[in-house]
Structure 1
């Protein structure tokens, strides 16, 4: 995913499926200048990670090998 799309998803009122390493995530913040996003993994608000937006995937989760 690119930064522009991550921002679009973050700003959207629609629910968009986003995945990180096969896990569903919610985008909580996008740092456009650094290409990073803070995401909530699963349903636990305390389970957050800051990752490069290119690690995020829209749509169905990718299978890990």
Structure 2
């Protein structure tokens, strides 16, 4: 996914479906390098992962 779109999603008050490896996630933080983000599974607030933003996908309904 594009870094600019991720910034829009993080700053939005609307809920946007994003997946990582086919699993629905919330984006918690974009790292300063602009290539990584911290995400967590929608059903598990405690389990966080650092992922490459290119592997995040927006689900369009």
Q: 2:26 is matched with which residue?
A: 26
Q: Indicate the residue corresponding to 1:37 in structure 2.
A: 37
Q: TM-score, normalised by structure 2?
A: 0.88
What is the TM-score when the length of structure 1 is the normalising length? 0.83
Q: CA RMSD in A?
A: 1.3
Of 13-22 and 37-46, more deviation after overlay is shown by 37-46
- C-alpha distance in 2, partners of 1:32/1:54? 15
Is the 1:3–1:32 Cα contact (8 Å) retained in structure 2? no
4+ runs deviating over 3 angstroms: none
Q: How does 1:1-65 map to 2 (within 5 A)?
A: 1-59=1-59
Give ranges in structure 2 of 5+ residues lacking alignment: none
Q: Note the C-alpha offset of 1:31.
A: 1.4
CA distance in 2, matches of 1:40, 1:22: 13
